[in-house]
Structure 1
Amino acid sequence: MNAWAVPGYTESLELGAGASGRVVLAVHHETGVPVAVKYLSESLRTRPGFVHGFRAEARLLGGLESPHVAGLYEYVEGPDGAAIVMELVDGVPLRALLAREGPLGPEAALTILKGSLLGLADAHRIGVVHRDYKPENVLVTPDGSSKLVDFGIAADSGARAGVAGTPAYMAPEQWTGAPASPSADVYAATATFFECLTGHKPYSGDNLAELALQHVDAPVPADEVPETVRELVLRGLAKDPAGRPVHAEAFVSDLEAAAGAAYGPDWEERGRGRLAALVALLPLLLPSSRGTPRSVTDTARTVLGRASGHAPARAWLPGRAGLLVAAVAVLLGILLAYGARHAPAAGSQPTAQSLATTSARPGVTPRGSTAPTPSAHPSPSSSSPTASPSLSPTPSPTPEVTDSGVPSTPVTTDPAEPPASGGTTPGSPSPSTPAAPPVKSVTVSALRQTGSATATATLDITTEGTGPVSVTVTWSTSDAAGTPGASDGASQTFERDGATHYTITVDHTFANSGCYWTVRATTTPAAAGGPASQQLLTRRCEIR
């Protein structure tokens, strides 16, 4: 296993693993925020196509703004590894609920379908098709809501991305390698809805060939579901994509109308209550009950006494040896705390300095930021609306049964108080710090208006080494195209080290008026091609 770890985080335990990587539970040093870190497997890291797809997955998540999808904090890539740092969703996979309970009941199944369709709709809105919707990629939280995860094989709508997906949920056209389409996601979501209602998949061929034929030609087994939702199943599992809703959002209104007519206005509240009760029966599957570290000291104790497997939750009663280890750990913690408090600032070792986004909740300020900009999004997950790049995997003659990464088991918790100011000055590394590397490029890969006075931008920085680099972001407004105009608010500076590629998503709330908004990014050291900037025409202005 690759020993490389994302700088600035302390890991505690593995949440899941698959053919293309693993997901671990970690804590961000400076804020104490628990996160899920998804690592690309060592065997795939040397294959450029998979690295490109992994990088594209991160960029896609950065551009996807949705309360129904696990959000991105940052993407880090270096000579020894690549990782996506995500929101940690404190949820249980829908697959686990189905395995324990079987059929969930119509109201709970409708609630799952609605939440999934809303997450897919947000992806479809920016031109992204998930392509691997299934119970393993839906996490149900303790309050009965759900989030969609794992965009490992997602693709641009209309892109020919090869044959890939999970066979039991693949639309007929997906088996032939047809261009990616939102209606294929609708098919997969409906197949999962069918499984929630009946306890089994719509089709169960003995082999891939038989399963493919069933998806393409076999009648939709709608008579197995309650009559009240039969029409939804027939539409969602239509063989011809033209017979399905064109995208997830169009299906939501049909679902709400059918559910309200059949089960009354409180159907969703009861459905969530049912799901919450089922999650409560599986508490040990929640990341929060599996040893979520709350501080660096707590994590250090976990490392000293690490045990294999997951033991049942119980009180720790140390013996004589345990008391000795605990005493040493406490003493070490005191010495380290004292040393950190009194060590000269010039000698401190910089780490990953903050979440790679300013959309963290109020009170968490990126280190080096001259002044925090009010965020348009209270959630710690970042959002950068970009038409995402194609995530086409290497085409294969038969469907790829994905694991498609790893079960992203991302938990929304309140960040700790912001770190105290101080540390090394950006661009002036200490003798114990690697020299600042040349910056190959800085680009603004996306800029989009997200509200009447808010915008989000995604920045990509590539360096020739892993030493420290700082990125300064400035915003401005103007009434004329092509000119930056007046500065809007104070600039923000982000410090990074430990990798050679960084993706940073920045949100901004504008105080000044102007038909054109501009974002500009500069680096220290300066990028070979100079600063990067991008301008957009706001929706409140029209060019006649």
Structure 2
Amino acid sequence: MKAWVVPGYTETRELGSGASGRVVLAVHDGTGIPVAVKYLSDRLRRDQAFVRDFRAEARLLGGLHSPYVVGLYEYVEAPDGAAIVMELVDGIALRAVLKQSGHTDPEAALVVLKGSLLGLAAAHRAGVVHRDYKPENVLVAADGSSKLVDFGIAADDGTTPGVAGTPAYMAPEQWQGGPASPAADVYAATATFFECLTGRKPYTGQNFAELALQHIEAPVPEADAPEPVRPLIRRGLAKHPEERPEDAEAFVAELEGVARAAYGPDWEERGQRKLAALAALLPLLFPSAGAPPASATAFATTSLWAPGRRGWLGAGAALALGLLLIFTEAEATDLTGGATVRSARATTSAASGAPVPGAPGAPSPSASTGTSAPPSPSASASTSPSPSGSTSPGASPTTAPATPGAPGTTTTPPGTGPTDTGPTTTPPTTPPTTAPPPAPVDVKAVNVTSFRQTDFTAAQVTLSVDASGPATVLLEWFSSDARGTLGAPEGSMTFPSATAATARTLTFSGQGCYWGVRATTTPAAGNGAATQQILIRRCEIR
């Protein structure tokens, strides 16, 4: 059976494929502009959750307008398929550059970091966290500029979508299931910066448990980096998100100050030339050269929890047994490499109909992100089709995306009619069949049914959640010297609610005479939050 093709485009060749789908090089029939088309696999298209995620990814890309992020042309969904039509970038993955050269000059590494941060800054301004920044998701163009790709597991800032990401680049709070935040993207970008400088990842644990502990507790390896840029490594890889720059834009300001002081006012121009020279060593890998399709990553899906330190060994064992990770060709033997661990799909369903190539306001297919370099030929936007979508700010559109080429649909590409006013689309008479959205979860109450001290630095808490469906529980614990005040935070964890009471063991620092807990849920419970406080044994008056 012949695979479905987006109407109005002629495919040239496949750029990459994986379990989630494939990416092809195609040409827009009306304008002749090359594009990248990302198709969702037939298997995943039968799963409405994946389809919603795919729509959400397209909607997110449609809301980001930055020369450092791959642009969206349109999203097309029909009874026979779903696809995202994207800008093509004549570039190669940063991973390929590092595989060839081992590492880069500090100025070239700073150029990569700055371009990456500017791409992330566009997402952060839109209230979106990428969550999967890594060398595989940075494309380096022939002129040394770069673009950020693959927002497949992005999430709204502040949400708790579950543990997901690529282990070698995940921030400590990401391992623990904490809320998504721009600071986690800053951490991942800094980890990649460190790899550019040194030729190795910041932490090299041989299994998930070891790697998790290193990210959470091991010292920042700043001494391995060149001395002038160590402040950036120290700040970007800080263990606590509040110790890092608050977002990518703030980190760019720090980067420019460090780079100018260390390497002079022309550091960026020199760094871009050096990066372009490294990319030029791999001419056959550029999609414009007609190279064979690159291997893609097949992503595993798992649900993780946030155990205390004593539970990490068990967590690692469960992960090692429960995950089947198929790595990219560049990292086939690296246990801590580029495979993305994904969980907790987003449920925000929205589609974005963006201008087709050549329409007013459509992003340029040029890979160039600088002001002096001419547009480069089009090429691959991404060779890692992503099954997971993301939530993004804004309400979902009230109408389904137009489906060019479906029965009852008429699309006029720009430039082909008497007046170039962009595509005109008549909604199909029979829209694609989709499953009805799930009923919203109603959380009536969350309660702390038991809270007691079990050791000098440990306590056990039992929670119950009265809800009509699955909810997420955020449990936080505190220590204080005053009754009725929660005081200083000691830790937090996020986990799905259960039908029965849930017990958790908490570890305290031993400070304070009062220990307290607070439980909240997403969606919010009708009673708001549950709190309880106890006076610990060593402080009891006898």
TM-score (norm 1): 0.59
> Which digits, 9 at most, give the CA deviation of each residue in 1:486-542, with x for residues without a partner?
xxx99765136899569xxxxxxxxxxxxxxxxxxxxxxxxxxxxxxxxxxxxxxxx
Aligned to 1:172: 172
Aligned to 2:319: none
Aligned to 2:210: 210
Which amino acid is 1:131 matched to? R
CA–CA distance in 1 between the matches of 2:128 and 2:410?
Answer: 31
Alignment of 1:285-324 (within 5 A): 285-290=285-290
Residue 147 of structure 2 aligns to a residue whose secondary structure is strand
Aligned to 1:262: 262
Shift of 1:470: 5.6
> Which digits, 9 at most, give the CA deviation of each residue in 1:261-304, with x for residues without a partner?
0000111101100111111111111111117xxxxxxxxxxxxx
Aligned to 2:278: 278
Shift of 1:111: 0.3
CA–CA distance in 2 between the matches of 1:356 and 1:69?
Answer: 18
> Which digits, 9 at most, give the CA deviation of each residue in 1:386-413, with x for residues without a partner?
xxxxxxxxxxxxxxxx996359xxxxxx
Aligned to 2:484: none
CA–CA distance in 1 between the matches of 2:51 and 2:42?
Answer: 11
Aligned to 2:409: 469
Which amino acid is 1:239 matched to? K
Compared with structure 1, are the counterparts of its residues 490 and 12 closer, same or farther at alpha carbon in structure 2 (3 Å cutoff)?
A: closer
Please tell me whether the aligned partners of residues 95 and 135 of structure 1 are also in contact (alpha carbons under 8 angstroms): yes
Aligned to 2:385: 405
CA–CA distance in 2 between the matches of 1:197 and 1:464?
Answer: 46
Which amino acid is 2:385 matched to? G
Shift of 1:93: 0.4
Aligned to 1:379: 364
Alignment of 1:17-56 (within 5 A): 17-56=17-56
Compared with structure 1, are the counterparts of its residues 164 and 378 closer, same or farther at alpha carbon in structure 2 (3 Å cutoff)?
A: closer
CA–CA distance in 2 between the matches of 1:465 and 1:379?
Answer: 24
Shift of 1:468: 3.2
Residue 17 of structure 1 aligns to a residue whose secondary structure is strand
CA–CA distance in 2 between the matches of 1:283 and 1:170?
Answer: 31
Aligned to 2:105: 105
Compared with structure 1, are the counterparts of its residues 494 and 231 closer, same or farther at alpha carbon in structure 2 (3 Å cutoff)?
A: same
CA–CA distance in 1 between the matches of 2:233 and 2:421?
Answer: 52
Compared with structure 1, are the counterparts of its residues 463 and 9 closer, same or farther at alpha carbon in structure 2 (3 Å cutoff)?
A: closer
CA–CA distance in 2 between the matches of 1:81 and 1:230?
Answer: 48
Q: Runs of at least 4 residues of structure 1 off by over 2 A?
A: 355-360, 375-381, 402-407, 457-466, 468-472, 489-493, 495-502
Please tell me whether the aligned partners of residues 62 and 458 of structure 1 are also in contact (alpha carbons under 8 angstroms): no
Shift of 1:469: 3.2
Compared with structure 1, are the counterparts of its residues 167 and 496 closer, same or farther at alpha carbon in structure 2 (3 Å cutoff)?
A: farther
> Which digits, 9 at most, give the CA deviation of each residue in 1:399-445, with x for residues without a partner?
xxx996359xxxxxxxxxxxxxxxxxxxxxxxxxxxxxxxxxxxxx7
Which amino acid is 1:221 matched to? P
Aligned to 1:241: 241
Residue 424 of structure 2 aligns to a residue whose secondary structure is strand
CA–CA distance in 2 between the matches of 1:404 and 1:280?
Answer: 22
Please tell me whether the aligned partners of residues 23 and 406 of structure 1 are also in contact (alpha carbons under 8 angstroms): no
CA–CA distance in 2 between the matches of 1:189 and 1:31?
Answer: 36
CA–CA distance in 2 between the matches of 1:403 and 1:183?
Answer: 26
Moved more, 462-471 or 251-260: 462-471
Residue 3 of structure 2 aligns to a residue whose secondary structure is coil
Which amino acid is 2:119 matched to? G
CA–CA distance in 2 between the matches of 1:153 and 1:101?
Answer: 29
Aligned to 1:316: none
> Which digits, 9 at most, give the CA deviation of each residue in 1:313-355, with x for residues without a partner?
xxxxxxxxxxxxxxxxxxxxxxxxxxxxxxxxxxxxxxxxxx9
Compared with structure 1, are the counterparts of its residues 149 and 492 closer, same or farther at alpha carbon in structure 2 (3 Å cutoff)?
A: closer
CA–CA distance in 1 between the matches of 2:220 and 2:34?
Answer: 43
Residue 173 of structure 1 aligns to a residue whose secondary structure is helix
Aligned to 1:525: none
Aligned to 2:425: 495
Which amino acid is 2:425 matched to? E
Residue 96 of structure 1 aligns to a residue whose secondary structure is helix
Which amino acid is 1:187 matched to? Y
Shift of 1:44: 0.9
> Which digits, 9 at most, give the CA deviation of each residue in 1:346-395, with x for residues without a partner?
xxxxxxxxx964585xxx45xxxxxxxxx5677359xxxxxxxxxxxxxx
CA–CA distance in 1 between the matches of 2:356 and 2:402?
Answer: 22
Considering only aligned residues, what root-mean-square deviation do their CA atoms show, in Å? 3.3
Compared with structure 1, are the counterparts of its residues 106 and 285 closer, same or farther at alpha carbon in structure 2 (3 Å cutoff)?
A: same
Residue 143 of structure 1 aligns to a residue whose secondary structure is coil
Which amino acid is 1:271 matched to? G
Shift of 1:461: 3.4
CA–CA distance in 1 between the matches of 2:364 and 2:176?
Answer: 39
Please tell me whether the aligned partners of residues 14 and 293 of structure 2 are also in contact (alpha carbons under 8 angstroms): no
Compared with structure 1, are the counterparts of its residues 251 and 209 closer, same or farther at alpha carbon in structure 2 (3 Å cutoff)?
A: same
> Which digits, 9 at most, give the CA deviation of each residue in 1:206-229, with x for residues without a partner?
101110110000011110001100
Gaps of 5+ in 2: 295-351, 367-381, 388-393, 413-418, 434-542
Compared with structure 1, are the counterparts of its residues 87 and 496 closer, same or farther at alpha carbon in structure 2 (3 Å cutoff)?
A: farther
Residue 233 of structure 2 aligns to a residue whose secondary structure is helix
CA–CA distance in 1 between the matches of 2:221 and 2:241?
Answer: 17
Alignment of 1:142-181 (within 5 A): 142-181=142-181
Shift of 1:179: 1.1
Compared with structure 1, are the counterparts of its residues 80 and 239 closer, same or farther at alpha carbon in structure 2 (3 Å cutoff)?
A: same
Alignment of 1:339-350 (within 5 A): none
1:187 aligned to 2:202? no
1:128 aligned to 2:118? no
Alignment of 1:419-498 (within 5 A): 460-461=400-401, 466-469=406-409, 494-495=424-425
CA–CA distance in 1 between the matches of 2:79 and 2:38?
Answer: 17
Please tell me whether the aligned partners of residues 24 and 38 of structure 1 are also in contact (alpha carbons under 8 angstroms): yes
Residue 64 of structure 1 aligns to a residue whose secondary structure is coil
Moved more, 215-224 or 462-471: 462-471
Residue 229 of structure 2 aligns to a residue whose secondary structure is helix
Shift of 1:81: 1.4
Residue 469 of structure 1 aligns to a residue whose secondary structure is coil
CA–CA distance in 2 between the matches of 1:458 and 1:107?
Answer: 47
Shift of 1:19: 2.6
CA–CA distance in 2 between the matches of 1:378 and 1:66?
Answer: 9
Compared with structure 1, are the counterparts of its residues 493 and 290 closer, same or farther at alpha carbon in structure 2 (3 Å cutoff)?
A: closer
Identity percentage of aligned residues: 66
Alignment of 1:81-120 (within 5 A): 81-120=81-120
Gaps of 5+ in 1: 292-307, 311-354, 366-374, 382-401, 408-444, 448-456, 473-488, 503-544
Shift of 1:4: 1.2
Residue 401 of structure 2 aligns to a residue whose secondary structure is strand
Compared with structure 1, are the counterparts of its residues 500 and 169 closer, same or farther at alpha carbon in structure 2 (3 Å cutoff)?
A: farther
